[in-house]
Structure 1
């Protein structure tokens, strides 16, 4: 039962993280402000705020490198919605620095896409992440 509870906490944490990444991109807002806002607004929720904070700060820190990865994969900012970009940055960050298996990251990214983005975005996200994983040269600055 404890594993199921932890699993649900992880799912909720990732959902809030996608919302926070989107907010950071859309408002060009400082991630520390977003972290404080989410902690305050969701204090009654079961969320791993340590993981949430670490991930958001990491994505902010490496956003230029992630942008270069997308360019290398032939994806331009103008061609991608902020929500899909948020999900892809989450996935790249998790693949590079997280402790989840790559296939789990892809599966979770597709779930998040189906929940938050338009109905066909999961296909685009799947193709992007598949291309990223299969192309070791895409880690240019790491």
Structure 2
């Protein structure tokens, strides 16, 4: 794994972001509620809440577009783990509306998948994001 020491805050922020996306999708919680909860629960951790809030709001604003992209990639929602869907939401949002370079967004999504999802899940994430990346070129 790459040395991420210099990017501790960004890495922790993205980890919290994927957890927040999961919570929003699972509980159908409002963005404001999730942001407030994460600020309260993670205030002692090194998290960039400005980046976190902007990304979460962007995902919420573009939820239908991201869902339609997943559908167009022929990814079946019924068979997809919710954590994988959360990671794909993060990655697609970053690739379309965020500040990360597309290859970095893919790489970060694979790292998140290896941390939060099943052992083989990163392959599914990689194939899905590769398909999406090719549609952008």
Please give the TM-score of this superposition, normalised by the length of structure 2: 0.94
Structure 1 residues not aligned, in runs of 5+:
138-142
Match of 2:38 in 1: 38
Matches within 5 A, 1:1-142: 4-5=5-6, 7-136=7-136
- Aligned-pair distance for 1:37? 0.4
d(CA) in 2 for partners of 1:43, 1:130: 35
- Aligned-pair distance for 1:88? 0.3
After superposition, give the CA deviation of every residue in 1:49-95 in whole Å (9 maximum; x if it has no partner): 00100111111111111010011000121121110000000000001
- Aligned-pair distance for 1:97? 1.3
Q: Considering only aligned residues, what root-mean-square deviation do their CA atoms show, in Å?
A: 1.4
d(CA) in 1 for partners of 2:68, 2:19: 22
d(CA) in 2 for partners of 1:86, 1:116: 10
- Aligned-pair distance for 1:136? 3.4
Which sits farther off after the overlay, 70-79 or 9-18?
A: 70-79
Structure 2 residues not aligned, in runs of 5+:
none
After superposition, give the CA deviation of every residue in 1:110-135 in whole Å (9 maximum; x if it has no partner): 00000000000000000000000101
d(CA) in 2 for partners of 1:99, 1:35: 20
